[in-house]
Amino acid sequence: MTVSEELRDQFGEIDIYLFDQLLRGRFDARRRILDAGCGSGRNLPYFISQGFTIVAIDAEPAAVHGVRRRVPGAVVGQLDALPWQDGSFDVVICSAVLHFARDADHWDAMVRELWRVLAPGGLFFARLASSIGIEPLLSATRGRMLLPDGSQRFVVDEAMLTGIMAKLGGELLDPLKTTVVQGQRAMTTWVAGRGSR
């Protein structure tokens, strides 16, 4: 087995920025995870192998059906109407999902709902399309728009992310980190915490 095969076997296709959070100890005492917009479950193999309590949700029934083989708690649903009680999870992972919001109200509703189910002391991890670093290439810095790569996304800017954190009483655990893909799109990693335990 090659090194890459061994790593893939252990970690799946985990988002490299989520892997960074693992290495930094952010999951050491946080064992209840919600994968919000789980898709194929690419971020879950390591957590499953290590006995984390995992729940997953996605709007696509086919995705949930595939994930349910490994995560019995996977459900079909919308991120703006989660079926769990307040504070149910130590970690909310929402990787490459929030930029599918229809508009600002939908985006806000999803973030507020994800925050609602996050426990005190919890970790919120999201990767999403932003205008950070590509502002001159866009017609606006936030909202639903056509990106230079030809995709339609709901794009946020730094003020939008820091603004909602202030409203929700959260704090950035890392500075916002943005990867610009050669003038085609920008993806921001947003890592926040909800109060102390």
Strands 177-181, 185-194: pairing kind: antiparallel
Residues 2-25: tens digit of each pLDDT: 998 888 888 888 999 999 999 999
CA-nearest of 36, 42, 112, 118 to 77 is 36
d(CA 27, CA 89): 12
* pTM attached to this predicted model: 0.95
To the nearest 10°, the Cα dihedral for 78, 83, 87, 89? -70
Q: Rounded to the nearest 5°, which phi and psi values hold at 192?
A: -135, 160
pLDDT score recorded for residue 7: 85
pLDDT of residue 28: 96
Element (H, E) at 179: strand 177-181
Phi, psi angles (nearest 5°) of residue 57: -140, 145
Res 169 pLDDT > 70: yes
Give me the chain's average pLDDT, please: 95
Contact 30, 173 (CB under 8 A): no
Give the C-alpha separation, 11 to 134, whole Å.
Answer: 31
Q: Is the pLDDT of residue 62 over 60?
A: yes
* pLDDT surpasses 60 at 197: no
**pLDDT at residue number 196:** 64
Average confidence (pLDDT) over 141-151: 93
Share of the chain above pLDDT 70, in %: 99
Query: Which class does domain 3-194 fall in?
Result: alpha beta
Mean pLDDT on 157-171: 96
- Cα 122 from Cα 197, distance rounded (Å): 8
Provide the token pair at 94.
């929402």
Q: How much of the chain exceeds pLDDT 90, in percent?
A: 90
